Amino acid sequence: MSQVVDIRELNARIEAKSAFVDVLTMGMNNVIVGQKHLIESLLIGLLADGHVLLEGVPGLAKTLAIKTLAQLVDGKYSRIQFTPDLLPADVLGTMIYSPKNEDFLVKKGPIFANFVLADEINRAPAKVQSALLEAMQERQVTLADTTYPLDNPFLVLATQNPIEQEGTYPLPEAQVDRFMLKVVVTYPKLEEERLIIRQNTGAKPEPIRPVLKAQEIVDARSVVREIYLDEKIEKYILDIVNATRDPQLYNLSELKDMISFGASPRASISMAQAARAYAFIKHRGYVVPEDIRAVCLDVMRHRIGLSYEAEANNLTSEEIVSEILNAVEVP
């Protein structure tokens, strides 16, 4: 009985603490027409302290959505346009010799910000990608013999274009795994596109004003971690992830030859964190199975290795995740 009371208290507290989410969402909706899933995914990454990779054809407001979020939260924002001639020093920073001081001075790179937009991340060579992804994982940068911690909150929001292969360097699976979510951005609906035309060809929009301080995000993250995750929900997460490694245990023997490698424990952690953040966005103090299903595809689609047989049958990781969700017992 005491547990029920605790849940009620927690629910009331989360409802009060998550009030700012509506203000943030409203600010995003004033600029971005439609794209509800994209906006929710960015908020999940923000609240769960996880980096987000957005994939979609040009012109779907990926960059605009990231920039808008950074403007609504009063934090430092930097954009890195990834190109084939980019160097790690262009991202991380470097040591510059000062003749006046007769010493080397640190020139910090654009990675030292709260929101880092890595635009078209797959256009830069592996050396630059790995430098960025190491900073994402370790939350620090080493220049010469000194290590500098990155700002808090620190969020990398990367975009990539799936239609062009020439002059690109696809992210290796081990590196793309550093992203908590991989979100596929789709075309807007017809009526939404009509609003987009009117919004972009009419009067000039008002400038975006911050509605939140960066420290409030840091505080919210600690509250998100308090959201109740039942043991049955934990088992549900573990079953979904384990089904990518041993599908035959879940009556999915036909998937065994389709998966070259399954998801790592990082997928389980990311799913739990993302589900808590999703519950927070919905002003709830506990995680339900629907929260897991809502975030599962974005957490898992980039963590499953497809075999040659799967590619020959035109089977995608999304279809595999959907089959797993249909097969695993819901608590």
Q: What is the pLDDT of residues 214-257, one digit of tens each?
A: 888 888 888 889 888 888 999 999 999 999 888 888 888 888 88
CATH code given to domain 225-327? 1.10.8.80
- Mean pLDDT, the chain, rounded, equals 85
Entry field: residues in the chain: 331
Residue 227, token pair as written in the block? 């959201």
CA-to-CA separations, 43 to 18, 23, 38, 52, 62, in angstroms, rounded: 12, 12, 9, 10, 14
- Half-sphere exposure of residue 87: CA atoms within 13 angstroms, side-chain side: 4
Supply φ then ψ for residue 301, to 5 degrees: -60, -30
Neighbour count for residue 14 (Cβ, 10 Å): 22
**pLDDT confidence of residue 166:** 65
Q: DSSP states of 274-314 as a string? A: HHHHHHHHTT-SB--HHHHHHHHHHHHTTS-EEPHHHHHTT
Please give the average per-residue pLDDT across 34-50, as a whole number. 88
Please provide the distance, in angstroms rounded to a whole number, between the alpha carbons at the two ends of the chain.
21
Q: Is 110 helix (H, G, I), strand (E, B) or coil?
A: coil
Neighbour count for residue 177 (Cβ, 10 Å): 19
C-beta separation of 38 from 313 below 8 A: no
Domain layout of the chain by residue ranges: 31-202, 225-327
- Per DSSP, helices labelled H in the chain are 2-17, 19-31, 36-48, 62-72, 88-92, 126-138, 173-176, 190-201, 214-224, 231-243, 265-281, 289-300, 308-312, 317-327
Domain 31-202 has CATH 1.10.3720.10: no
**Separation between Cα atoms, residue 38 and residue 183, nearest integer Å:** 7
**Separation between Cα atoms, residue 123 and residue 261, nearest integer Å:** 26
CA-to-CA separations, 156 to 43, 82, 176, 252, in angstroms, rounded: 13, 13, 12, 35
The pTM of the full predicted model, rounded to 2 decimals, is 0.86
Percent of residues, the chain, with pLDDT higher than 70: 97
**pLDDT confidence of residue 133:** 80
Residue 174, token pair as written in the block? 């081990």
**Separation between Cα atoms, residue 29 and residue 57, nearest integer Å:** 21
Say which range, 5-9, 298-302, 320-324, has the weakest mean pLDDT.
5-9
- Half-sphere exposure of residue 58: CA atoms within 13 angstroms, side-chain side: 4
C-beta separation of 123 from 167 below 8 A: yes
pLDDT at position 175 over 50: yes
pLDDT at position 282 over 50: yes
Instruction: Examine domains 31-202 and 225-327 and report if their fold is the same.
Output: no
**Separation between Cα atoms, residue 270 and residue 263, nearest integer Å:** 11
**Separation between Cα atoms, residue 249 and residue 256, nearest integer Å:** 10
C-beta separation of 44 from 307 below 8 A: no
